[in-house]
Amino acid sequence: MTFFDLERPKHAYMFAFLQADGHLRQGPGNKGTLSVGLSARDAPILEEFQRLCPLHNSIRYRTRSTNFKAEHTSVVWTVSAREFREDVQALGLPAGRKSAIIAPPIIPFDGASMAANRER
């Protein structure tokens, strides 16, 4: 099953965002998660991702002290569904550290949408 049509602007943007700021963790067996953590002020981005994802997913908030701020609130969007994780992996999002190996997908995608969102 494919959850992404990268020729649709919102899907292309979400996948590029996951490549940049997401983390795909593989656990033993079929366990694992895809997650994105941002500052709470950017919660609308993750809320839109939640609407686009057809499977069970969650958004949670966390407030804690950091080196930069006494009380920082962040938001994390998480998807645990194996089918969704397999789909993003098939498109080229690797599990674990990705900084040296991330690349554009090898299937057609809406690059104009990605560029327009990057310039904002």
What domains sit in the chain, N to C, each tagged with a CATH number? 9-93 (3.10.28.10)
DSSP string across 23-80: EEEE-STT-EEEEEEEEGGGHHHHHHHHHH--S-EEEEEEEE--SS-SSEEEEEEEE-
Whole-structure pTM value = 0.80
Q: Indicate whether 99 pLDDT > 70.
A: no
**What are the pLDDT digits (tens) for 18-72?**
999 999 998 888 889 999 999 999 999 999 999 999 899 999 999 999 888 889 9
With a CB cutoff of 8 Å and minimum separation 6, the contacts of 97 are none
Q: What percent of the chain has pLDDT over 70?
A: 84
**Among 20, 33, 36, which Cα is nearest to 74's?**
36
